[in-house]
């Protein structure tokens, strides 16, 4: 593709992200699947530009408003990014927006005014308010300040950086040393992850989907934080386990490998589409003890029929996704009803906890950094359910993850700035007595 064609494709892709209710990563994947003629180098250039715009959404909007242009639409934001983010000059913009076949139409008078006004300006202006500088939407500012205190700026800065590429090694088929060797033979550099004993961090963005190891189910793309969460569930060989919000099955697969294929995992989700994708991953991984189970809602009748029958219940609850903003920067600016999310999380935890047998454990987790979705939800649940106790994460870490636990306090709390993973929260809750689903005493 010519440089101009890449710019036009960037505008089209960014417009698709703005006008599609799906997360950006899904929109990007679908965009390139529908355009097989776009080569790998072109895809990398286009993706990097679009994600650059998304990570600087508030700052680009602030500049466009400052120079008198409405910050609406993909094209003006691409123009602003080319100047402020990529350092393009007036002549560069004129060559790129030339109106030729596959190229963007020539700059309008209003766009030319943007170019003149932004020329030689810094991307980060000292006059920007903190919410713009940190790319923090209003709905999340208070909860994040409560979560991080004096580390607010540091944590928000880390959430603006691109996420690394982590993979999990399928313990049923190989180990890290062999995978590092195999990847190295293909020119792909990888090193062990900082905490997870089954993870590797890959350098760059190699196309792993076409690699033999991926097609054979030896490796899966999975953030180190997600791997740690699956390990902390402590699913052992022969156990009865339910992954209540299984999605496409990444954590279920990690637990199945830990269980050495012995025992049973029921992978539940309200989306049959996600479970269909999980079935393909299960087949590829060579796992035969995962049973996909679609649910009508969090209170599906299946839950009542199976209360008290599981040793482990993992709940990776739907959430705001603040911990994954590095991967989905567009999620910051999508409508988020925090009250509706916390109500749903409470219902899911209330219902799924019935599945745990006495002595069994419920692991409540989110990829959120907000106390409203994490500690507050656990505190409310424990107040209503004295038959559960918190198992401090430090008591489980050494046996399941290995090494010293990198955090204090009873809960798992991972963040990009401190642990170089996606943001994750988890509480390990153990049923001590009482009957599953029994109402707490007055």
Cite the active site residues. Answer: 367
Q: Which residues pair with 390 in a beta bridge?
A: 429
Question: What does residue 131 show for φ and ψ, rounded to 5 degrees?
Answer: -65, -35
Q: 228: closest CA among 398, 409, 377?
A: 398
Q: Which residues contact 359 (CB under 8 A, 6 or more apart)?
A: 430, 431, 432
Cα Rg of the chain, angstroms:
24
Q: How far apart are CA 27 and CA 22, in angstroms?
A: 7
DSSP for 166-212, please give it: EEEE-TTT--HHHHHHHHHHTT--EEE-SS-TTEEEESS---GGGSH
For the beta carbon of residue 242, count every other beta carbon within 10 angstroms: 27
Of the chain, the end-to-end C-alpha distance in Å amounts to 70
Q: Which residues pair with 313 in a beta bridge?
A: 242, 362
- Specify whether the CB–CB gap between 323 and 368 falls below 8 A: yes
C-alpha atoms less than 13 angstroms from C-alpha of 309 in its C-beta half-sphere: 11
Q: How far apart are CA 18 and CA 76, in angstroms?
A: 13
**How far lies 289's CA from each of 237, 264, 286, 363, in Å?**
11, 5, 10, 20
Collapsing DSSP to helix, strand or coil, 69 comes out as coil
Q: Which residues pair with 166 in a beta bridge?
A: 201
C-alpha atoms less than 13 angstroms from C-alpha of 292 in its C-beta half-sphere: 21
Q: For the chain, what is the total number of helices (H) and then of strands (E)?
A: 20, 12
For residue 91, what are its two tokens?
A: 């002549």
């Amino acid at each position: 593709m010519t440089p101009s064609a890449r710019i036009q494709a960037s505008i089209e892709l960014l417009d698709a992200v703005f006008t599609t209710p799906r997360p950006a990563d899904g929109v990007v994947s679908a965009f390139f699947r529908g355009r097989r003629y776009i080569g790998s180098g072109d895809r990398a250039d286009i993706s990097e530009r679009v994600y650059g715009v998304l990570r600087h959404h508030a700052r680009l909007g602030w500049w466009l408003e400052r120079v008198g242009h409405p910050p609406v639409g993909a094209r003006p934001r691409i123009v602003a990014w080319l100047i402020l983010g990529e350092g393009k000059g007036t002549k560069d913009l004129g060559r790129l927006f030339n109106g030729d076949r596959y190229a963007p139409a020539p700059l309008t008078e209003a766009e030319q005014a943007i170019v003149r006004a932004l020329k030689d300006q810094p991307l980060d202006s000292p006059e920007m308010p903190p919410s713009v500088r940190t790319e923090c939407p209003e709905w999340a500012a208070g909860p994040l300040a409560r979560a991080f205190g004096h580390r607010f700026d540091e944590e928000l800065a880390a959430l603006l950086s691109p996420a690394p590429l982590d993979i999990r090694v399928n313990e049923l088929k190989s180990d890290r040393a062999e995978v590092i060797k195999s990847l190295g033979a293909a020119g792909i550099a990888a090193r062990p992850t900082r905490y997870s004993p089954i993870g590797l961090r890959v350098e760059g963005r190699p196309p792993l989907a076409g690699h033999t190891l991926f097609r054979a189910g030896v490796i899966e793309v999975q953030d180190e934080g997600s791997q740690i969460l699956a390990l902390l569930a402590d699913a052992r060989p022969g156990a009865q386990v339910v992954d209540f919000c299984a999605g496409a099955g990444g954590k279920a697969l990690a637990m199945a490998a830990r269980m050495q294929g012995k025992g049973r995992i029921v992978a539940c989700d309200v989306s049959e589409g996600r479970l269909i994708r999980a079935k393909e991953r299960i087949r590829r991984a060579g796992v035969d003890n995962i049973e996909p189970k679609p649910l009508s809602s969090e209170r599906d009748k299946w839950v009542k029929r199976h209360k008290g029958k599981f040793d482990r219940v993992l709940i990776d609850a739907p959430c705001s996704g603040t911990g994954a903003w590095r991967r989905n920067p567009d999620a910051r600016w999508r409508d988020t009803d925090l009250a509706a999310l916390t109500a749903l999380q409470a219902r899911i935890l209330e219902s799924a906890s019935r599945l745990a047998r006495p002595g069994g454990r419920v692991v409540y987790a989110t990829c959120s950094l907000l106390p409203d979705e994490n500690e507050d939800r656990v505190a409310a649940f424990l107040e209503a359910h004295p038959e559960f106790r918190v198992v401090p994460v430090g008591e489980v870490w050494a046996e399941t993850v290995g090494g010293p636990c990198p955090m204090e306090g009873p809960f798992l709390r991972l963040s990009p700035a401190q642990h170089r993973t996606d943001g994750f929260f988890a509480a390990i809750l153990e049923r001590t007595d009482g009957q599953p689903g029994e109402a707490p005493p007055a």
